[in-house]
């Protein structure tokens, strides 16, 4: 059975992000005094949590520079990761490295942004969209837990349509009925192709 585990990566040199803080201050939110950024790693695997934890410590992360945590206690934070379907090169690289040592798994990366200072929810929403994430390719939530989705299998029905003998009105009606929304000339090109 596959299990999903979530790990936080803490740098031994500190996770403070002064550039993000500067960007927030440029938006005139000076109540925020400090921002920290923690990489997140979600892993779906057959291994137990302690087994995959040891593998990550020994094969993926440098113990001299980084430490893995299973839980992270913070007051003010949001988490960000890619939308389902968006390519995640770093996660793919970790999957590849683990596959080379015989571990089959799915990996997803993200970030937790922690801030120190009082802001309202409206202010947080405004700051998040401008500093923490790109809504086009990423999601941002208080806490993200479900990141792996199985694509359902699609079964398509095929339908044969005799287009070669259709007149102008008929090919336009067909275009509309089948939600093709092609112009008469475009439908005509398709019809003429199958005539030959």
CA angle 39, 44, 45 (to 5 degrees): 125
- What pLDDT digit, counting tens, does each position of 140-193 carry? 999 998 999 877 777 777 888 888 888 888 888 888 888 888 888 888 888 888
Residue 41 — pLDDT band, cuts 50, 70, 90? very high
* pLDDT, greater one: 1 or 97: 97
Q: Which long-range contacts (CB under 8 A, 24 or more apart) does 119-128 make?
A: 119/29, 119/31, 119/32, 119/76, 123/29, 124/78, 126/27, 127/24, 127/27, 127/29, 127/32, 128/78
pLDDT at 58 over 80: yes
What pLDDT sits at residue 156? 74
Which among 162, 114, 116 is positioned nearest to 142, based on CA atoms?
114
Q: What pTM was estimated for this model as a whole?
A: 0.75
What pLDDT sits at residue 183? 86
What pLDDT sits at residue 16? 96
Is-contact 97 60, C-beta < 8 A?
Answer: yes
Which among 39, 168, 56, 42 is positioned nearest to 101, based on CA atoms?
56
Contacts of 171 (CB under 8 A, 6+ apart): 163, 184, 187, 188, 191
What pLDDT sits at residue 144? 95
State mean pLDDT over 119-132: 95
The region of weakest confidence among 26-30, 106-110, 164-168 is 164-168
pLDDT at 77 over 90: yes
State mean pLDDT over 83-111: 95
With residue 106 as reference, give the H or E element that holds it.
strand 105-116
């Amino acid at each position: 059975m596959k299990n999903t585990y979530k790990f936080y990566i803490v740098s031994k040199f500190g996770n403070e992000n002064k550039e993000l803080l500067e960007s927030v201050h440029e938006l005139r939110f000076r109540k925020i005094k400090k921002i920290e950024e923690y990489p997140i790693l979600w892993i779906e695997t057959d291994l137990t949590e302690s087994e995959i934890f040891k593998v990550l410590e020994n094969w993926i992360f440098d113990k001299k520079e980084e430490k893995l945590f299973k839980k992270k206690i913070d007051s003010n934070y949001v988490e960000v990761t890619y939308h389902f379907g968006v390519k995640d090169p770093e996660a793919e690289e970790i999957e590849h490295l683990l596959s080379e040592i015989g571990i089959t798994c799915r990996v997803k990366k993200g970030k937790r942004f922690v801030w120190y200072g009082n802001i309202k929810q409206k202010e947080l929403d405004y700051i998040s969209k401008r500093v923490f994430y790109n809504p086009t390719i990423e999601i941002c939530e208080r806490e993200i837990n479900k990141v792996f989705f199985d694509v359902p299998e699609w079964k398509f029905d095929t339908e044969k349509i005799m287009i070669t003998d259709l007149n102008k009105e008929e090919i336009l009606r067909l275009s509309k009925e089948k939600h093709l929304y092609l112009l008469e000339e475009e439908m005509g090109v398709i019809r003429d192709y199958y005539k030959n």
